[in-house]
Amino acid sequence: MNRGILLSILICLTGWHTVNGQDETCEYSVSGKIFDLETREPLPFASVQVQGTTKGASTDTTGYFEINKICQDEFDLIISFVGYKRVIHHHDVYHDLPTIYMVRDQVTLESIVVEGEQMPGELKSLALSEISGKALESSRSDNLGDVLSNISGVSTLSTGQNVVKPIIHGLHSNRVLIINNGLRHEFQNWGVEHAPEIDPSLTERIQVVKGAATVRYGPEAMGGVILIDGPALDLHEDLNGRAGVQVSSNGRAIGADIRLQKGYVHTAYLAQASYIRQGDLRAPDYMLTNTGKEERSLSFGFRYHQPEYNLTAYYSNFYQNLGILRASVAGNLDDLENAIESDEPTIIDPFSYDINNPRQEVDHNLLKIKGEWFKDQHVFELQYGFQVNHRQEYDVRRGTLNELPSIDLKLYSHTLDGAWEHPEFRGWNGNAGFQYAYQNNDNQPGTNTVAFIPNYDLHRIGLYLTEAKMFGENRWEWGLRYDLQAMDVRGRAQDNSVYTNQLSFQNASGTIGFSRNISENLNFRTNIGTAWRPPNVFELYVFGRHQSTIEYGIWRYDIDPDGNVLTDVILDEDDREVKSETGVKWISSLSWERNKFRGEVTGYVNYIGNYIFSSPGGTTSTVRGAFPFFLYDQTDAIFTGVDAAGEWRHSQYWNSQLKMSYVYARDVKNKSWFLEIPPLRFDYQMNYKPSIVFLPNSEIGLSVAYVFNQWNAPPVIPISEVQDAQESGNAVYQPGSTFDFTNPPDAYFLVNASFSGGWRKIDYRLDIRNVLNSSYRMYTNRLRYFADEPGINFRISFSYSF
């Protein structure tokens, strides 16, 4: 039933020729369903023809068609319907049956053919959400984190406006795995202020697996997996592509992107480029000085196809220079207190495109070579990936030191992945595979500061197997995985003495899932899976001050019998055992479709043992005054919550969507709350499609979001109390419990509006963000102490498809 799913994911929508040992008997058949892309309603009486034959069929009232007695095992289907763009789909019998989404003539979007249910990871019992097409189009110049936050259950952890990370069900950084173009995105993901270096303008589809998909994707998928794919490399395509420009009023940003594609009989090419320059953003009441950014990206794809195999090569480069709010620099607690008490940022300059310190400069290169073979109903896949991530972070320092990065890291990653999909065996379909990774992390000389994290070499090997079988209406699936990670660490202590260590971690993971179509309109899925994550070098070895806190990694402090914290030590696993984080996530979704309503509710419970976090250990005096210091340790945590989304088609002209997400996160060992957990949020969007003669295909959208105050937040300890504690020696911290310097920001209400339309091959779009120009702060923005979020922004974009 799902044989070929792996294939569909890998080379979705494109033809896969096969040579089969069987004789050419006319015993093949094809069936499928045809829908309107925009309304998602079935299209009855659409015509489907097998090219070069007289065979064909029309769809019935449910959009279903079936053609039997086809002599070839691969053929082109021509799908046509009055008023809609004609679709030619290359189909072979080894693929899952196609679902075709057609678009009306006047619309510039392209029709979509989906073969099988494109469930990545082959685990259909996991909740999955997707952004593509129009939704992706509307946020083309946003950063990846913001694009992802359009999915219910996904929110953002940001450091200002340019550094935005996705949070899935309350987890982020190296508890969320990102697969970019089939490769695990390897970057310095331990840092909350390190956003993934992926340009959303090059992507065609983004999917989020909200369950513990560790079994398929490997360690660190504690919260979920984000799958990002570029455009498919289609064969038999004339030169086609897309060119777009966007301008924004806030930040006076200008951006452009272009894509070119061509497909021959056996080869296909793709080239993409994009550029964006943004100046200082503006909050309703003041400039956000030094929030400009510059980004450019480039990618090339190549595919060579033969009936028995398929080869693809892909290269991409993404360069970012990201400004961080100048006023967010705090030298000590007094500076931070000044900033918190000030209504406005402490430094406000006139608008500028200049990007000064503090800033981050990141360059990410990715090269992928992949081969797929198809033999006797087996599918083999081998993929090699090479990534170089060069990250330089510039702080506000004295004099000429400003020209030197404080953090300068190069991370080289080689990966080799192999997968084998076996033919159906007694009703079971499945995959087995291995994933191997080698990483080398190198501190670059010339930072004039002792390396923040050590150098390391890392080897990671994983083996997995997943299987699925239908038992009547019930689908059962299971998977197993084993991982081994070995790391060779070399770092320097504050006095430049060298420390070294060899670490290895291993883990077995498993998953079991169930799905069932309860009725024609109602589907239920449930999955329970384990996930794991070895501690990373940052959590083990971090030492020292960053902004207004000081942190010590798990192996950088010791506590003497009197309870004093000593930091002149470097420990190892014999002194203090560090276990891998291990999680169990149970996730269930119920989705239904009835008349003009579609909806889905997802609930989850994620229990994470040995959860690594930092909590205050006391206050210490430095030359800059008193600082609270934080010690990394392990605890047990629970993350549970609900996401819901519903979509109504009220009439031909009106439709609306409602989304909500809520997460409850608790440190169950210390009985305390975690910082920066996204608060309860509701989103409602209404779209109206007027029939205006001179503005065809226009659509007006209005969306409102209400974000609550986070009531499950750690206690507040004002800065004055922290400082007094140093002088008086009083304990102000609860053991094991973290704290915040201020209350979480108030609830806020945001309104966005849009107008879009298409004329011939040109799409145009006007977006107005924060229509009411409201001043608000986000609890999950780490710069919430310093400044409001940006105010009203008009963004106009044009794109030309050819």
Partner 1 sequence: MKSILTANIVILSLAAFVFSSCGDDDAPPIENMEEEITRITAVFTNRDDASDVITAIWFDEDGEGTIDPVVDDVVLSTNTEYHLELFLENTLADPVEDITNEVKEEASEHMFFFGFTDGMFADPAGNGNIDGRNDPLNYLDADDNTLPLGLETVWTTGDATTGDLQIILKHQPDIKSETSTSADGETDVDISFDVTIE
Give the footprint of partner 1 on this chain (CB under 8 A): 329-332, 334-335, 338, 346-347, 396-399, 401, 414, 416, 418, 420, 432, 434, 436, 438, 440, 442-451, 454-455, 457, 459, 461, 463, 488, 490-492, 494-496, 498, 500, 543-545, 550, 552, 557, 564-568, 618, 620-625, 629
Contact (CB, 8 A) for 170 and 665: yes
Rounded CA separation 761/764 (Å): 10
Rounded CA separation 797/802 (Å): 17
Residue with smaller CB distance to partner 1, 445 or 472: 445
Rounded CA separation 162/326 (Å): 13
Helix (H/G/I), strand (E/B), else coil: 637: strand
Contact (CB, 8 A) for 48 and 57: yes
HSE-CB for 453 with a 13 A CA cutoff: 21
> The tokens 């996204």 sit on which residue?
678
Residue with smaller CB distance to partner 1, 415 or 703: 415
Contact (CB, 8 A) for 12 and 372: no
> 598-622 burial, b if ≥16 CB within 10 A, otherwise e?
bbbbbbbbbbbbbbbbbbbbbbeee
Task: For the CB of residue 718, give the shortest distance to partner 1 in the complex, in Å.
Answer: 17
Residue with smaller CB distance to partner 1, 229 or 539: 539
Task: For the CB of residue 444, give the shortest distance to partner 1 in the complex, in Å.
Answer: 8
Q: What is the CA angle 169-173-175, rounded to 5?
A: 60
Q: Please give the single-letter amino acid code of residue 174.
A: N
Task: For the CB of residue 667, give the shortest distance to partner 1 in the complex, in Å.
Answer: 24
Q: Other CB atoms closer than 10 Å to residue 584's CB: what's the count? A: 17
Task: For the CB of residue 453, give the shortest distance to partner 1 in the complex, in Å.
Answer: 9
Task: For the CB of residue 333, give the shortest distance to partner 1 in the complex, in Å.
Answer: 9
Nearest Cα to Cα of residue 793 among 765, 777, 773: 773
Residue with smaller CB distance to partner 1, 449 or 737: 449
Residue with smaller CB distance to partner 1, 455 or 799: 455
Q: Please give the single-letter amino acid code of residue 368.
A: K
Task: For the CB of residue 504, give the shortest distance to partner 1 in the complex, in Å.
Answer: 13
Task: For the CB of residue 282, give the shortest distance to partner 1 in the complex, in Å.
Answer: 20
Task: For the CB of residue 563, give the shortest distance to partner 1 in the complex, in Å.
Answer: 12
Contact (CB, 8 A) for 683 and 702: no
Residue with smaller CB distance to partner 1, 250 or 615: 615
Residue with smaller CB distance to partner 1, 346 or 523: 346
Rounded CA separation 706/747 (Å): 7
Nearest Cα to Cα of residue 725 among 562, 615, 616: 616
Task: For the CB of residue 205, give the shortest distance to partner 1 in the complex, in Å.
Answer: 30
Residue with smaller CB distance to partner 1, 237 or 721: 721
Rounded CA separation 229/206 (Å): 6
Residue with smaller CB distance to partner 1, 262 or 490: 490
Task: For the CB of residue 311, give the shortest distance to partner 1 in the complex, in Å.
Answer: 18
Task: For the CB of residue 402, give the shortest distance to partner 1 in the complex, in Å.
Answer: 8
Rounded CA separation 99/157 (Å): 36
Residue with smaller CB distance to partner 1, 320 or 485: 485
Residue with smaller CB distance to partner 1, 383 or 754: 383
The two tokens of residue 679 are: 């608060």
Sign of the dihedral through C-alpha 172, 177, 181, 187: positive
Contact (CB, 8 A) for 371 and 311: yes
